[in-house]
Amino acid sequence: MSYQIGDTIPSLTLQDTEGTHITIEAGTNNYTVLLFFPLAFSSVCTDELCSVRDNMKLYESLNAKVYGISIDSFFSLKAFKQSLSLNFTLLSDFNKIQSTNFGVNNDDHFGMIGVAKRSAFVLDSDMKIVHSEILEDAGNLPNFDKIKEAIK
C-alpha cells in the first residue's frame, strides 16, 4: 500500500518518546505534518528537525501539528529529542507499519533495509493528503516552503 495525494488515510497510532500511544485522527488539527526521517542522531536528520524546531511558531500559528517519525525505538527518540531540545512530538514506527503504508521504506540505506526515506506529508483536518514528498536522496531536505504553502 502506498498513499497518494488526495487519499484519505485512516487514523494512525504510534508511540511517542515516553512510550505512550498517540493517535492521529480526523478533526484533531486543521493540518498535520508528518515528517518521516531515516535515523535519529544522523547529521541531515538533525538539520531537518532543528529547522522545524526553529520554525515551530509558524506551524503553530497555522494550527498545524508536526510529528517527526522514524523507525528508531522510542527510547532512542527520547534521547534524540532531549539532545536537540525539540519542541514537537517524535513518534516511533519501530515495526515499520506506517512507513510501509505511506510507501517510504528504503530497501538500502547504507546497507540497512526498511529505514524510512526522508518524506513529508501534509494532511488536512479530514486526514486527506494535500502534500506529499518522498526523497530518494537522504542527503536532501524536504521542501519546507511547499509544506508551508500546503498548510496556509
Number of Cβ atoms within 10 Å of the Cβ of 96: 15
| CA pair distance 101, 28, nearest whole angstrom | 20
DSSP3 helix / strand / coil % (the chain, rounded to 5): 30, 30, 40
CA distance linking residue 2 with residue 104, whole number of Å: 8
Active site residue 45: yes
63, 97 in Cβ contact below 8 A? no
Query: Which cell is 12 given?
Result: 494512525
Rounded distance, CA 121 to CA 24, Å? 13
Of 24, 35, 45, 64, which residue is the catalytic one?
Answer: 45
Measured distance CA(5)–CA(40) in Å, rounded: 27
The residues carrying an active-site annotation are: 45
